[in-house]
Amino acid sequence: MRTLLTGHLGQLATDFKSLLTSDSLILTEYEDLKLQNAPQVLELVSAAMPDLILNCAAYNRVDEAEDRPEDAFAANTFGVRNLALAARATGAVLVHFSTDYVFDSPGRSTPFTEADTPCPRSVYAISKLGGELMLQSTWHKHFIFRVCGLYGYAGSRDKGSNFVETMLALARQDKPIRVVKDQILTPTSTLDVAAHVIKIVQSERFGLYHLTAGGCCSWYDFASAIFEESGLSPDLSPVPSDHYKTRAHRPAYSVLDNVNLRQAGFDDLPHWRSGLRRYLAGRLGNGRH
């Protein structure tokens, strides 16, 4: 299957590259394909004629988006529309990734399903929901996967790392570590996401899917598990969200239920702790020390 992979330097895209046949991949990054440029997107897709487009490109600077909404919407909303128009013109299947941040209901304590109404509360989250709606209204041959708490060996291109590596680095500095306890989510390995997506897209069961690991935890619980699985005992303490002043609001609870995945006959992802163990076991082989 001839596949166009956007945002190929990111952590999720890097795992796709490790699982797909390299001679069938067309790789692009923001420097050579600006998704907000509709004519350029159509020209590239028309020339490449992919069977499948995996859109891993996104504006993920959550706090900066509050002050630069035009950049967030250019990539996360209008860029998706341009890809959808190009996919429609060429007949390609388009796979797009959204976020748990489209949900944020104060007091919620049960996982969100695909049938729940989104309630985004940040510019970033609104721009991601906008991308979903643009794709759904433009081209029917699509998959939208909402993911949560991603971490992969390549690290986020915007952040330069991921939560696991940040915690391990802080532990080596032998300084107090303070992590929020009141934000509940599901940390998910990008390798697990990529492996499942490759299976699902072959089914042509198009639509919206939640795609996260099993279980849930707070960021503090996740940090505790990282240290426990790594045999480390740093000075770790829980703090409330308002301990860190951020421009953008973070959901207090954004756990997703993979209902559509199971109804389509696919296996659920492993529990988040299982994904963490496998990530830690493979760190050295993937250039992490």
CATH number at residue 66: 3.40.50.720
Task: Work out the burial of residue 145: count CB atoms within 10 Å of its CB; fewer than 13 is exposed, 13-18 middle, 19 or more buried.
Answer: buried
Helix and strand element counts for the chain (H, E):
10, 12
Range of the domain at 215: 3-286
Of 256, 248, 284, the C-alpha closest to 59 is 248
Task: Tell me the mean pLDDT in the region 118-141.
Answer: 98
Confidence label for 131 from pLDDT (cuts 50, 70 and 90): very high
Cα–Cα distance list, 155 to 14, 177, 211 (Å): 9, 20, 19
- Amino acid identity, position 65: A
Q: Which pairing describes strands 52-55 and 177-180: parallel, antiparallel, or unpaired? A: unpaired
Confidence label for 164 from pLDDT (cuts 50, 70 and 90): very high
Which position among 59, 101, 124, 220 bears the catalytic label? 124
Structure tokens that stand for 101 in this block:
């941040």
Distance CA 146, CA 188 (A): 11
∠ CA 65-68-74, nearest 5°, is: 90
Give the pLDDT score at 160. 66
Cα–Cα distance list, 255 to 63, 93, 177, 184, 197 (Å): 21, 28, 24, 7, 19
Give the pLDDT score at 155. 80
Distance CA 288, CA 187 (A): 19
Which comes out higher in pLDDT, residue 105 or 86? 86
Mean pLDDT for the chain? 95
Of 183, 189, 158, the C-alpha closest to 71 is 158
Residue 157 has pLDDT above 90, yes or no: no
Of 241, 235, 222, the C-alpha closest to 165 is 222
Predicted confidence (pLDDT) per residue in 271-282, tens digit: 999 999 999 999
Largest distance between two CA atoms of the chain: 56
Give the pLDDT score at 158. 65
Give the pLDDT score at 285. 77
Q: pTM for the whole thing?
A: 0.96
114-128 CB burial, b ≥16 within 10 A, e <16:
bebebebbbbbbbbb
Instruction: Give the range among 20-29, 64-73, 107-116, 217-226 with minimum mean pLDDT.
Output: 20-29
Domain count, the chain: 1
Q: What are phi and psi of 28, to 5 degrees?
A: -135, 155
124 is catalytic: yes
Confidence label for 289 from pLDDT (cuts 50, 70 and 90): low
Instruction: Give the range among 116-120, 154-158, 232-236 with minimum mean pLDDT.
Output: 154-158
Give the pLDDT score at 159. 65
∠ CA 195-198-202, nearest 5°, is: 150
Residue 288 has pLDDT above 80, yes or no: no
Of 87, 257, 62, the C-alpha closest to 159 is 62
Give the pLDDT score at 1. 87
- Whether the CB-CB separation of 101 and 251 falls below 8 Å is answered with yes
Distance CA 189, CA 210 (A): 14
Residue 23 has pLDDT above 90, yes or no: no
Distance CA 266, CA 262 (A): 5
Give the pLDDT score at 284. 76
Give the pLDDT score at 255. 98
Give the pLDDT score at 62. 96
Of 253, 208, 258, the C-alpha closest to 104 is 253
Give the pLDDT score at 33. 84
Percent of the chain at pLDDT > 70 equals: 98
Structure tokens that stand for 69 in this block:
């909404």
Give the pLDDT score at 29. 84
Residue 161 has pLDDT above 90, yes or no: no
Task: Work out the burial of residue 174: count CB atoms within 10 Å of its CB; fewer than 13 is exposed, 13-18 middle, 19 or more buried.
Answer: exposed
- Whether the CB-CB separation of 210 and 261 falls below 8 Å is answered with yes
Residue 125 has pLDDT above 90, yes or no: yes
Predicted confidence (pLDDT) per residue in 189-234, tens digit: 999 999 999 999 999 999 999 999 999 999 999 999 999 999 999 9
